[in-house]
Structure 1
Amino acid sequence: MLSMLKRIIIGAPLKSTELGEQKLNKKKALAILSSDALSSVAYGPEQILLVLVTISAVAFWYSMPIAVGVLFLLTALILSYRQIIYAYPHGGGAYVVSKENLGENAGLVAGGSLLVDYILTVAVSVSAGTDAITSAFPGLHDHNVIIACLLVVFITILNLRGITESASILAYPVYLFVLALFILIGVGIYKIITGDVSSDLHAPIGTPVAGISLFLLLRAFASGSSALTGVEAISNAIPNFKEPGPRNAVRTLMAMGLLLAILFSGIVFLAYYFGIAPKHEETVVSQIAAETFGRNFMYYFIQGTTAMILVLAANTGYSAFPLLAFNLAKDKYIARMFTMRGDRLGYSNGIITLGVTSILLIIIFKGQTEQLIPLYAVGVFIPFTLSQTGMLVKWLREKPKGWAVKLAINLTGALISFLVMMMFFITKFSQVWAVLIFLPLIVLGFHQIKKHYVAVGDQLRLTTCEPIKPIEGNVIIVPVAGMTHVVENSLNYAKSLSADQIIAVYVSFERVDEKIFEDKWNKWQPDIRLVTLQSYYRSIIQPLTKFIDTVEKKASESNYRVTVLIPQFIPKKSWHNILHNQSSILIRTFLLYKRNVIVTTVPYHLKK
């Protein structure tokens, strides 16, 4: 039943030879990998205005030069990541670049930052999309958390079905959003040109503003730079592109940068010209749409597509997180399970982990994840800074043809990224201080995992200096709870193993039961030795393990091995299991950690 349900939800398994068919073309890749960056148009301009409004509405004209600064940073990042894609065509982005050029710890800081950032991407994006939905339908506001969690489950299932299938479905809302904003910006600019919008709504550029400072402008610039989150995702996901992967990835990156620049600058310009001020109950994009079209079909079309893109921005995380986890797992810094492909050829363990952790964040913060945006942004600019610095080191070390231009591009990107990162730490320390705690802990965790894998490899390698002693014989212990076909099946199996000794062990809670059982046993299985143990506290595991320890100690002196065969009946239907105690599972779990004891289960399948 569970297998059938899995097939319905996720789809039939794909052959490994079909992996090439799961690659993305540029059109689908642009939609699925740019959704995070493009969605930031919905809140990036608003973040600038939220800082400027602390002075006065007259200061809103500063949003224009700040937007130019953000576009300059975007250009530097796009050109920088273009170079990263060609230099590291197998993907990995900031993690691989930092690890190779700046050292192991720098790579782990970049990798850890991005892992957390992709989780935040999903939580923040889905929560923002849910807010847009409940803004249009206020009656749903009390159900924000449930709606957000269901949306995460939906996106997780889509990605488990395969990257091409999810891209085919999710591409339409992304391109609809782009179309909607192009219409909004085009109509808005047309109204301005035709004089349909009063010029008195905004202060002219250059108007003196009392109380303005360089510090506040840098803070606004850092806040507006949150619109650049997601730019690095394409460099992580090169293996998802159809061949030639690097060239297709670069073209997709350039197209994303162009779209983001046009949409971001358009929204900032309209917000400034329309004199839009940020409101708690209504977004800046909503206000611009209302000013441009009124509350008609076009307004709701823009709001609807904005809500969809905010939700689907999470899909960038689903595209990049599993590949980053794969690279970390391949280098033995996280669990090896992240290197395994699922039935649909995606890294399903990474997809499921991302979905579960995002839901936990949404529940913990009750869907109010606005305070996570600075944490989310600084988590991106740390890898930005490290990757650009890593590329600087690479060009200085290798000095390929045209390296001076490449060096200048990465130097610009590194300096601006570092400036934005420091501005986040300085101006929003109360919101981002957690980075200084969890990042070192994550890196420490990576090192502990690597240490474990190295130790395991040393112990499993055939060339290890520790010889394996030959096994001279075998003592089999069979825990029994009665005289049944289950026990008989296990005893017959034990006899077939040609053991030196077979011992049946019965744990009794009452002396009377012990004597009765011994008499019946001697008539039923006279050739099998029975040991009865008295349990005064109604525990089976404690006396049984104590007896096994005693036998194992004596057996090890003669290089004998102790094998525990656990009888277990398997019900015909899986739900029947809840009707029976699971003592066999408890015994097996406990005994697995005994150093020199072999534990195996002998199943007996019931027919009805």
Structure 2
Amino acid sequence: RSGVFPALVAGAALLIDYVLTVAVSVTAGIEAVTSAVPALFPYRVWLCLGAVVIITIANLRGVRESGNIFAAPTYLFVISILGMVAWGVIGTTLGRMEEAPYEPHPPGLEGISLFLLLRAFSAGCTALTGVEAVSDGVPAFKPPEAHNARIVMAWLGVITVAMFLGITYLAYDFGIVPGGNETVVSKIARRVFGGGFLYYEIQAVTMLILLLAANTAFADFPRLSFFLARDRFIPRQFATQGDRLVFSNGIAILAGVACLLVVVFQGDTQQLLPLYAIGVFISFTVSQSGMVRRWLRLREEGWVWRIWFSLVGAVVTGIVLVTLAFTKFTEGAWIVVLLIPSLVVVFLIVHRHYDTVAAQLSLEGMAPPPPLEGTILVLVGDLHRGVVRALQYAQSLSPNAKAVYVETDPERTRRLEERWTKWGMGTPLIVLNSPYRSLLGPLMEYIDQLQRQRGQHHVVTIVLPEFIPAKWWQQLLHNQTALLIKGQLLFHKNVVVTDVPYHLRH
């Protein structure tokens, strides 16, 4: 169990990262749209919410179907960005593209310190966030799963590095810096292609690929939630699959929290980014450290070079993590730094609850239970067909069933007693006086009195007559007394509530 705590830290970090992946990817995708069509910028929050809803619906239809929906934009994006980089590099190399003037850095104002290098390195490493989705989604690959996942990871690394270096080179060569309401990719594409069709195509595929990035979180957040729920660290509802064989509860929670972040941060990517990389680099560091421990313990063939490989990875990602937490703390990273340990505490509380419940429900060491006795009480508020049906049901359970009426108006009690002789089915009617016109107070006192008189092994069954209107909206026109009674008696020991519905025709 020594590895439980690091695993929970990594799990909490990844859950937060997946939520932020959706929020950041969707807002960045909509930024690509507003960069091409500036008139849409004031509506970016609504556009982000609409995009989250569309991705949610696609995933609720099934992970395989949503994967097919987003496959084509992936290939189109890779071809388009690499084509833009190649065209831009060729143009600048051959002198066919005029370089944008930029001012050189004034000498002597700032030295290149180790801290500055670490900060730049850490900022660049955030471009690698998202590759963990491949390792988390290994079970979703076709057999052999691990082999196919390694191939995807290798190609992902090659393509990511090529595009990242190409875009960085063009931004430097063109003198492009982040800022304003236009993205860096949009500025580069506008310089390379002008404002024609290819520019808008770049913006469109950028938007689509960022929605695909959000889609990976919709696949991995529910899967990680399933693992945590299976091990009883979060509510078991997260382990339940819907009718489309997807973890619909996890998808719904992810979409709801992501939409909340979009609204709170007003669809601003720059405000969301400081929160983004902390969680994933915690997971990277913990996983690499775990691999170091594994190689030390098993000492399998080739463990020496493998352990150094994992150790370097743990050290590098740990340095990035500390640097990001320090430099971005006041910009919002403090939220993630505080939220991760809070989630771990919640995991442990939930797990302890499930362990306690399992221990109390276990048959281990249980003595033969004593015989139970019971009293059947039909709670009556009026006399109608629904009550008559409930009286019939109560008499089928016990011939000694009784009816209980809480008196709030003596005149109503008199009219009820007059009709009871004919329609009471021979059931004795007990009238409880309520001087303060309270329904639950006298009833609870009567139940407590019965249980005190007859002992702890006496069960009181409350039969509730309830008529059900034909239309759902008609339910709003009637008092929800039965619901209040069921809610009050739910936590009362040795009390069983049975609802007897009487369905109206129209």
Q: TM-score range by the shorter chain?
A: over 0.9
Name the counterpart of 1:352: 252
Measured against aligned partners, the alpha-carbon deviations of 1:41-89 in whole angstroms (never above 9, x if no partner) come to xxxxxxxxxxxxxxxxxxxxxxxxxxxxxxxxxxxxxxxxxxxxxxxxx
Name the counterpart of 2:136: 236
TM-score, normalization by structure 2: 0.94
Name the counterpart of 1:189: 89
**Aligned-partner residue type, residue 60 of structure 2:** L
Say whether 1:475 aligns with 2:379. no
Name the counterpart of 2:419: 520
Aligned match of 1:505 in 387, 404, 407? 404
Say whether 1:577 aligns with 2:478. no
Give 1:101-500 correspondences, 5 Å limit. 103-198=3-98, 201=101, 210-214=109-113, 215-430=115-330, 431-465=332-366, 468-471=369-372, 473-498=373-398
Q: Distance in 1 between matches of 2:446 and 2:465?
A: 18
Deviation at 1:201, TM superposition (A): 4.1
Secondary structure of 1:313's aligned partner = helix
Secondary structure of 2:370's aligned partner = coil
Measured against aligned partners, the alpha-carbon deviations of 1:113-158 in whole angstroms (never above 9, x if no partner) come to 1111111111121122223323333333333222212211111111
With over 3 angstroms needed to count, the CA separation of the structure-2 counterparts of 1:586 and 1:412, relative to structure 1, is same
Q: Distance in 2 between matches of 1:344 and 1:429?
A: 41
Deviation at 1:160, TM superposition (A): 0.8
Secondary structure of 2:169's aligned partner = helix
Could you tell which deviates more after superposition, 414-423 or 536-545? 536-545
Structure having greater relative contact order (Cα 8 Å, sep ≥ 6): 1
With over 3 angstroms needed to count, the CA separation of the structure-2 counterparts of 1:155 and 1:537, relative to structure 1, is farther
TM-score, normalization by structure 1: 0.79
Residues 591 and 597 in structure 1, CA contact (< 8 A), matched pair in contact too: yes
**Aligned-partner residue type, residue 518 of structure 1:** E
**Aligned-partner residue type, residue 519 of structure 1:** E
Deviation at 1:536, TM superposition (A): 4.3
Aligned residues: percent identity? Answer: 44
Residues 318 and 351 in structure 1, CA contact (< 8 A), matched pair in contact too: yes
Say whether 1:530 aligns with 2:429. yes
Secondary structure of 2:502's aligned partner = strand
Residues 388 and 424 in structure 2, CA contact (< 8 A), matched pair in contact too: no
Give 1:55-134 correspondences, 5 Å limit. 103-134=3-34
Deviation at 1:552, TM superposition (A): 2.9
Q: Distance in 2 between matches of 1:555 and 1:509?
A: 28
Q: Distance in 2 between matches of 1:476 and 1:460?
A: 26
Q: Distance in 2 between matches of 1:553 and 1:213?
A: 81
Q: Distance in 1 between matches of 2:404 and 2:270?
A: 61
Deviation at 1:464, TM superposition (A): 4.2
Could you tell which deviates more after superposition, 299-308 or 413-422? 299-308
Residues 202 and 273 in structure 1, CA contact (< 8 A), matched pair in contact too: no
Deviation at 1:386, TM superposition (A): 0.5
Name the counterpart of 1:39: none
Name the counterpart of 2:502: 604
Residues 555 and 562 in structure 1, CA contact (< 8 A), matched pair in contact too: no
With over 3 angstroms needed to count, the CA separation of the structure-2 counterparts of 1:586 and 1:418, relative to structure 1, is same
Deviation at 1:384, TM superposition (A): 0.5
Q: Distance in 2 between matches of 1:106 and 1:318?
A: 24
With over 3 angstroms needed to count, the CA separation of the structure-2 counterparts of 1:276 and 1:411, relative to structure 1, is same
Deviation at 1:605, TM superposition (A): 1.8
Q: Distance in 1 between matches of 2:433 and 2:38?
A: 66
Structure 2 residue runs of 5 or longer lacking an equivalent are none
Residues 229 and 377 in structure 1, CA contact (< 8 A), matched pair in contact too: yes
Structure 1 residue runs of 5 or longer lacking an equivalent are 1-99
With over 3 angstroms needed to count, the CA separation of the structure-2 counterparts of 1:187 and 1:551, relative to structure 1, is same
Deviation at 1:363, TM superposition (A): 2.1
Q: Distance in 1 between matches of 2:80 and 2:285?
A: 33
With over 3 angstroms needed to count, the CA separation of the structure-2 counterparts of 1:198 and 1:526, relative to structure 1, is closer
Name the counterpart of 1:61: none
Residues 378 and 403 in structure 2, CA contact (< 8 A), matched pair in contact too: yes
When the two structures are aligned, how many residues end up with a matched partner? 504
With over 3 angstroms needed to count, the CA separation of the structure-2 counterparts of 1:207 and 1:315, relative to structure 1, is same
With over 3 angstroms needed to count, the CA separation of the structure-2 counterparts of 1:140 and 1:481, relative to structure 1, is farther
Deviation at 1:292, TM superposition (A): 0.4
